[in-house]
Each structure stands twice: as structure tokens, then as C-alpha cells.
Amino acid sequence: MEELNLLILGAGWTATFLIPLLRSRNISFAATTTTGRPVVDEPTLPFKFNPSAPEHEIRSAIAALPRARHILITFPLTGAGPSKLLHSIYTETHLTSASTSSIKSEKDSIPFRFIQLGSTGIWQQRQQQSSAATPAPASPSSSLPPSPWLTRHSPYARETNPRAVAEDELLALGGCVLNLAGLWGDARNPRGWARRVAPTRDAVRAKASLHLVHGLDVARAIVRLVEGGNGDESSSPFWERVGRGQRWMVTDGFVYDWWALLAGWAEEEEENEGGEQMERARWVFELMREEGVRGLPRSPETLGRCYDTRDFWETFGLVPLKARVC
């Protein structure tokens, strides 16, 4: 069987954006779901990865998968072991003389390129832990407050977040991790989250920054990894420079203020003064008075956690198509 460009392990919500893009770019692919159900009219293969199952069952399930140059893992792996297990068994069961020759010709020592979709929550957890700890005394030589900006190189919950542990394991094996901000698009509308995340006035008070990325832009990032650079760089050198062992923080480049969003969404209920969105907007303006906030959005220093993802967009040679949620 001819090697595919991409194998999607777990064709869920992200795949509804990715599969149409793969079709339009004529990129060969296959996808799996736990039941083998079709996704956007694309048949899928039934597959479920259970690291705690007997090894012969795991090996049999993985061996039945098609061979692909890139393997995209959309479901979370946790703790030490699962990433290495999936990587090693797939490599052992799919490495052939043909693929070995291809590797040698491309001067690429990694037969298969694994891509894991993760979450920017690994940095959020680290910050929460740091803020809960007793602050160190300020240095006499520095009176500046700590910067609210975090990048992909900032410390994260390396040892305490199970997903981060699994991601680090894959990175050590030459894989790539895309840590995604809040996913939105189609039925996933941030406006619909307000009732869950801000049901009370105190809950609104606690809301600060929000970071998002649209499903289409996630799909474009994955395709760029599979295809390579802008046409002046083949897939292999691009992967060696951008993919292999690299962790990327991915947002749409905006830092949203929950207060600004909640206040702006009141327009949906302008004919209903007693509506929930209108009530949340009132809470926002009351809190602005109480906390001395003169205007929205609040400053990065006030929000306290801001992701800087310029590095990702510049390196991948892209700009987000679906930025600025309203």
C-alpha cells in the first residue's frame, strides 16, 4: 500500500476543518474514529488507543493502521509511557524497506513524523501554581512588576500536568506539539460559553483574559507542517527546522478581555432588558466602577496572562484567517 501523507488519529471536531482542506490541496490522508463513523462525508477506520490494554492487542490495532509520513494525534495522551508506546509500535509495524530508502534519500533520520495537538492550559496551570506560592522578595535592582506575557519558551507545568508529561515524551522522540488555545468555529461559539463560565457576578469578577484559535487556522497549521514551507523549502528541511522536537503555542494573536466580550454581547438582547447577557453587561460596568477600570479592554498588566504567539505565525509563514471573535 502506498504511503499516505497524513494519518489522523481521532477525527473529531478539528477534522471537520482539516479534512476539507486536505481534499482541496490533494493531500493523501486517512482518518480514524472510535466507531468508524464518517466525518464530513469521509469514511474513517475504527481505532481506539488504550495504553493499558494488553500489548498484543495494542500492537494488533496499530499494525492495522495505514502507513503515513505524518501521524496526527488529536486526542490527549497523559503521563509517561503512552506517547513512547504509540510511537514505537507504529514505527516497528510500519517501517519497510521502501520507507527506509525514502528516509535515506531525504537525509531524515525519523521515519514517521508525529504531531500532537495539545492545550495552552499547560502554561495557565504553571502560572496559577506560581501565583499561589509565597512571592519572593523583590530585588533592589528591579522595581518592575513581572511581565504578563508568556511565549512557547516560558516555563510550564512540566512535571505536574499529565498532558505536558506525555507531550515532552513525544518531543524527545522527535515529534511536534501544537498547544492550542480555546477552539472555536461553526457550532463552537464563545458567546455560548458565557452562561457556563460567568453565571454570577463574582464569576464575572474573576474572569480575565481569553485566548482563542479558529478550527480553520488549526487546520492550516497542520497542513503547513505536512506540506513544508512556502514553496521555497521542501517538506523535510521544513520539518527539521520547524517540526522536529518543537513545541508551538497557537492562538489567533489576540488577547481577549472577558469583560469586554460580555459587555459587547449585551446587544443580542437589546429588546429584553432582563436577559442574561444584559445582566452580565451590567455586572461588568459595576465592577469597572468598583475596581477603577476606566475603559475596556483592560490592559495586559491587569489581565495578568497574555500569550505571545508571533513566533508561530512568523515561522510558519501564515497569518490567521479567522481572528477577532466578536
What's the pLDDT score for residue 146?
A: 84
Q: Which residue has the cell 507545568?
A: 157
Rounded CA separation 28/74 (Å): 18
H/E element, 283: helix 276-291
What's the pLDDT score for residue 134?
A: 44
Burial of 33: CB neighbours in 10 Å, binned 0-12, 13-18, 19+: buried
Check pLDDT > 60 for residue 204: yes
Check pLDDT > 90 for residue 229: no
Q: Is 181 within the bounds of a domain?
A: yes
For residue 267, give the DSSP letter: G
Rounded CA separation 283/123 (Å): 29
Rounded CA separation 216/188 (Å): 12
Q: Is 287 within the bounds of a domain?
A: no
What's the pLDDT score for residue 236?
A: 80
Rounded CA separation 214/223 (Å): 15
Among 130-144, 213-227, 312-326, whose mean pLDDT is lowest?
130-144
| 268 pLDDT tier (thresholds 50, 70, 90) | low
Q: What is the mean pLDDT of residues 184-207?
A: 96
Give the total number of structural domains in the chain. 1
Check pLDDT > 50 for residue 320: yes
Q: What is the mean pLDDT of residues 9-29?
A: 99
Q: Is 283 within the bounds of a domain?
A: no
Q: What is the pTM of this model?
A: 0.91
Q: Is 32 within the bounds of a domain?
A: yes
Name the nearest CA neighbour of 106 among 254, 5, 236: 236
Range of the domain at 171: 4-186+211-254+306-316
Strands 256-257 and 209-210: antiparallel
What's the pLDDT score for residue 174?
A: 98
Q: Is 126 within the bounds of a domain?
A: yes
What's the pLDDT score for residue 89?
A: 98
Q: Is 237 within the bounds of a domain?
A: yes
Q: Is 277 within the bounds of a domain?
A: no
Neighbouring CB atoms inside 10 A of 235's CB total 19
What's the pLDDT score for residue 128?
A: 56
What's the pLDDT score for residue 98?
A: 52
- Work out the percent of the chain whose per-residue pLDDT is above 90: 80
Neighbouring CB atoms inside 10 A of 323's CB total 14
Residue 36 sits in a domain whose CATH number is 3.40.50.720
Are 115 and 70 within 8 A, CB to CB?
A: yes
Q: 79 vs 115, 129, 172, 176, CA distance in Å? A: 17, 19, 14, 17
- Provide the mean pLDDT of the chain: 90
Q: Is 142 within the bounds of a domain?
A: yes
| 85 pLDDT tier (thresholds 50, 70, 90) | very high
Q: Read off the pLDDT of residues 101-156 as tens digits, 9 standing for 90 and up.
A: 554 445 556 789 999 999 999 998 545 555 554 444 444 445 667 899 999 999 99
**Can you name the residues that pair with 115 across neighbouring β-strands?**
72, 176
Rounded CA separation 284/181 (Å): 24
Rounded CA separation 268/167 (Å): 41
